[in-house]
């Protein structure tokens, strides 16, 4: 039985990955390490903890804590490390870039040193398409050879971490892969992100704040498709390679919000345009030819189907959403979104 250490496993993508892997009923043991910041929610895996008690363990720890992490990895004879742990919201990075550098850069460096010391079979760095910067509407999508031009403190910290991972492969022969994915959506997403925030506000008949004119384009991928891709990279990805993971679902923000309103059956009059974010990237688009050709992966969930599934999940899990909201996680956004 192989043991996978997942950092940030109480977060949105990390918890979905753990759920996906354990539900495969294959010979994997998962060690979940999470600091339990505002976005790390133990409720995301409560049922998994009960159902897979012999194959799943959780440790509350910070990836910047070398001594604790080293002890966890050595004790559990970890084979693989997948680093989902990150401060991940652009707005928050603008207000506190130091925190993002501490977690996303120093934390990654810590993990790399521990992986090297413990002879890990493979280290996977979960990155983002935002490290590539911004595209114009006529530009071709990002491929893995595209230069890094991050435009926010968040994306700069992720790009820095990617370069450290590459350096450890080149300098120390550490077996690594880096994955760069487009915008994820689906169950258990923290309601500061666009799609769950729009769903939450629409269900309460509150205004839906959209930056600028809503022209900014993102590529969207259903989180389960992303999880499938990560496992393929872990098992079969060529050592040292970067893999872009995209959803084939480019759409601007105003259009995706209108689609959500149609699904929830709420009026477009709820839309409220707010002052644009500083340095707001215009467009992201992913070319996933490499992972498709090499690992036979492609996104399976169409955007319209994924949005419907996501709305249904939030409607069926109102208690989860209520628990998140009552912890005042959205107080920050009530201050940030200033209506014109």
What pLDDT was estimated at residue 335? 44
Of the candidates 209, 186, 216, the one whose C-alpha atom is nearest the C-alpha of residue 282 is 216
Is the pLDDT score of 257 beyond 60?
yes
- pLDDT at position 333 is 44
**pLDDT in the model for residue 337:** 41
Place of tokens 């539900």: 23
Catalytic residue among 62, 79, 130, 281: 130
Under 8 Å between Cβ of 158 and 142: no
Number of separate helices (H) and strands (E) present in the chain = 14, 12
d(CA 175, CA 177): 7
Q: Pick the residue with more confidence: 213 or 39? A: 213
Of 9-18, 56-65, 326-335, the least confident: 326-335
CATH superfamily assigned to domain 2-187+220-248+283-301 = NAD(P)-binding Rossmann-like Domain (3.40.50.720)
* Catalytic annotation present for 129: yes
Question: Known catalytic residue: 332?
Answer: no
Element (H, E) at 245: strand 242-245
Full-model pTM: 0.93
Among candidates 307, 77, 76, which has minimal Cα distance to 187? 307
Domain boundaries of the chain, sorted by first residue:
2-187+220-248+283-301
Options 129, 192, 219, 225, the catalytic residue: 129
C-beta separation of 247 from 286 below 8 A: yes
pLDDT at residue 264 above 90?
Answer: yes
- Tokens 């999880």 correspond to 227
Residue 227: which pLDDT band, with cuts at 50, 70 and 90? very high
- Rounded to whole angstroms, the Cα distance separating 166 from 160 reads 10
Dihedral sign, Cα of residue 129, residue 130, residue 131, residue 134: positive
Taking only the tens place, the pLDDT of each residue in 80-128 is: 999 999 987 788 888 888 989 999 999 999 999 999 999 999 999 999 9
pLDDT of residue 327: 63
**Is residue 77 over pLDDT 70?**
yes
Residue entry with tokens 């600028």: 212
| Residue of 56, 154, 188, 243 marked active site | 154
**Given the structure tokens 């700069």, which residue do they identify?**
156
283-333 pLDDT, tens digit per residue, is 999 999 999 999 999 999 999 999 999 999 999 998 888 777 766 444 444
Residue 130 falls in the annotated catalytic set = yes
């Amino acid at each position: 039985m192989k043991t996978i250490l997942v950092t940030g496993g109480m977060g949105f993508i990390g918890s979905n990955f753990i759920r996906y892997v354990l539900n495969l009923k294959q010979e994997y043991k998962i060690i979940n390490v999470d600091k339990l910041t505002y976005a790390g929610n133990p409720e995301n895996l409560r049922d998994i903890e009960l159902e897979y008690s012999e194959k799943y363990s959780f440790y509350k720890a910070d990836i910047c804590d070398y001594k604790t992490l080293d002890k966890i990895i050595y004790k559990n004879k970890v084979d693989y490390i997948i680093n989902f742990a990150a401060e991940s919201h652009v707005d928050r990075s603008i207000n506190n870039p130091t925190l993002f550098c501490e977690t996303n850069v120093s934390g990654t460096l810590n993990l790399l040193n521990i992986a090297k010391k413990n002879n890990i079979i493979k280290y996977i760095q979960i990155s983002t398409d935002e490290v590539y910067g911004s595209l114009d509407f006529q530009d071709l999508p990002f491929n893995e050879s595209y230069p890094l031009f991050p435009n926010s403190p968040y994306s700069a910290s992720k790009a820095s971490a990617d370069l450290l991972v590459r350096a450890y492969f080149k300098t120390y022969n550490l077996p690594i892969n880096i994955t760069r994915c487009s915008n994820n959506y689906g169950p258990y997403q923290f309601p500061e992100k666009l799609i769950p925030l729009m769903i939450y506000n629409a269900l309460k008949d509150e205004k839906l704040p959209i930056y600028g004119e809503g022209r900014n384009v993102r590529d969207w991928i259903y989180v389960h498709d992303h999880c499938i891709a990560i496992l393929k990279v872990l098992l079969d990805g060529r050592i040292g390679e970067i893999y872009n993971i995209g959803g084939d679902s480019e759409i601007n923000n105003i259009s995706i919000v209108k689609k959500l309103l149609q699904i929830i059956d709420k009026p477009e009059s709820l839309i409220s345009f707010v002052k644009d974010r500083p340095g707001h990237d215009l467009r992201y688009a992913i070319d996933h030819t490499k992972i498709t050709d090499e690992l036979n992966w492609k996104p399976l969930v169409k955007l319209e189907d994924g949005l419907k599934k996501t709305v249904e999940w939030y409607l069926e899990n109102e208690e989860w959403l209520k628990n998140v909201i009552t912890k005042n996680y959205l107080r920050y956004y009530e201050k940030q979104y200033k209506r014109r």
